């Protein structure tokens, strides 16, 4: 029904308006007494617990960061059958993001290009929402810096969001790999990343309860850059990797060159980045060991990509673009692998 009826209707709207309409409908359902509980009984989500990083996930398929930036629909994600959800990217101050249009579909490629720019309500508002989150559901927090914050001061932003979310989420993710914030990718350089990881892990290690901290990496890192990154991850005892973020690459797309040029800059997600994302999962496992936690995110649009990532060593999976194209059936398909 989703691919034959709902998706064609939603795709008549521009992508950001379709996202807004979908969220309004889901928020309405969430506001109805027993709405999420009714949805839960109807969906009959798969319970297939996964123990990882000291946490128990309901199943191995979760919501990727970016879909629910502001922590507005956590009860709904649980009811739909997602095993966990990652909110954000969260910045210290709320910000509108980049000018519209900033989200584009490439239907023939089962892909999206976005240059959203960390639009979110800001730490204070998101903290208040998280105080009412489902307590029996794993929630991650994705950390970023404000666009106006120069890289030289980025660490202050990351530490502020880290401290502000720490007692409200179950795991935390350092995001220095999003291509849609000017010069953010320079924080992936060895010296800058070393400084950020050192400070955040020192802050984490001061906590009474030490929650997992993960690093989200870019699919655009070459193998040498990835090895440098993984050495820092090992040196600072970062707890896990999310592979991967979106890509600035445009190789192998079915969309015309004219269409790609019309869209312009932004991060590519969906099927075209699946192969590189899967390669990086395998490289992480080879370098850091089969027991090192890896969340596979990037290009899962059917069970084939889910299987490839799991076979390469991913412990958990995250959906975003594939969920836009395939709907909730994709969750169960991934869990049947």
User: Catalytic residue numbers?
Assistant: 178
- For residue 270, say whether it is annotated as part of any ligand binding site: yes
Any idea which residue has 């490839």 for tokens? 308
| 313 appears as a binding residue in the annotation | no
Residue 66 annotated as lining a ligand binding site:
yes
Is position 175 annotated in a ligand binding site?
Answer: yes
Query: Which single residue is written with the structure tokens 């507005």?
Result: 72
Binding residue per annotation — 118? yes
117 marked as part of a ligand binding site: yes
Calculate ∠ Cα 292-293-299, nearest 5°.
Answer: 125
Strand, coil or helix: 245? coil
65 is an annotated ligand-binding site residue: yes
CA distance 65 to 140: 9
Residue 51 is labelled as binding a ligand: no
Q: Per the omega criterion (within 30 degrees of 0), is the bond before 102 cis?
A: no
Q: Was 289 annotated as part of a binding site?
A: no
216 belongs to an annotated ligand binding site: yes
* Residue 68 among known ligand-binding residues: yes
Q: Is 249 annotated as a binding residue?
A: no
- Name the burial class of residue 260, with classes exposed (0-12), middle (13-18) and buried (19+) by CB atoms within 10 angstroms of its CB: middle
Q: In the 3-class helix/strand/coil scheme, how is 41-101 assigned residue by residue? A: HHHCCCCCCEEECCEEECCCEEECCCCCCCCCCHHHHHHHCCCEEEEEEECCEEECCCCCC
115 is in an annotated binding site: yes
- Write the CB contacts of 205 (distance below 8 Å, at least 6 apart in sequence): none
Residue pair 272/260 in contact by the 8 Å Cβ criterion: no
Binding site residues for substrate, as ranges?
Answer: 69, 114-118, 175, 180, 245-246
Binding site residues for FMN, as ranges?
Answer: 65-69, 89, 142, 175, 216, 244, 270, 299, 320-321
Binding site residues, as ranges?
Answer: 65-69, 89, 114-118, 142, 175, 180, 216, 244-246, 270, 299, 320-321
């Amino acid at each position: 029904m989703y691919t034959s009826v709902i998706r064609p209707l939603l795709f008549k709207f521009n992508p950001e308006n379709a996202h807004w309409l979908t969220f309004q409908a889901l928020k309405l359902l969430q506001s109805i007494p027993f709405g999420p509980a009714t949805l839960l009984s109807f969906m009959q989500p798969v319970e297939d617990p996964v123990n990882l990083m000291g946490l128990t996930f309901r199943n191995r398929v979760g919501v990727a960061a970016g879909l629910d930036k502001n922590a507005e629909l956590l009860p709904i994600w649980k009811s739909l059958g997602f095993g966990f959800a990652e909110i954000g990217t969260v910045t210290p101050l709320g910000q509108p993001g980049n000018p519209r249009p900033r989200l584009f579909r490439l239907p023939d490629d089962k892909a999206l290009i976005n240059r959203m720019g960390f639009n979110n309500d800001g730490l204070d508002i998101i903290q208040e929402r998280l105080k009412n989150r489902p307590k029996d559901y794993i929630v991650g927090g994705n950390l970023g810096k404000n666009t106006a914050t120069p890289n030289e001061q980025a660490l202050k932003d990351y530490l502020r969001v880290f401290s502000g979310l720490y007692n409200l989420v179950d795991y935390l993710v350092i995001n220095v790999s999003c291509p849609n914030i000017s010069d953010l990718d320079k924080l992936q350089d060895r010296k800058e990343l070393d400084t950020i990881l050192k400070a955040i892990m020192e802050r984490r290690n001061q906590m009474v309860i030490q929650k997992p901290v993960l690093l989200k990496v870019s699919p655009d890192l070459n193998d040498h850059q990835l090895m440098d990154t993984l050495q820092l991850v090992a040196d600072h005892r970062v707890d896990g990797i999310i592979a991967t973020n979106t890509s600035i690459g445009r190789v192998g797309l079915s969309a015309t060159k004219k269409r790609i040029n019309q869209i312009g800059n932004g991060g590519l997600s969906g099927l075209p980045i699946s192969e590189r994302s899967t390669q990086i999962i395998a490289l992480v496992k080879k370098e850091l060991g089969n027991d090192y936690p890896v969340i596979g995110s990037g290009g899962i649009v059917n069970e084939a990509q889910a299987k490839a990532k799991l076979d390469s060593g991913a412990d958990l999976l995250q959906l975003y673009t594939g969920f836009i194209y395939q709907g909730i059936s994709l969750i169960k398909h991934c869990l049947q692998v």
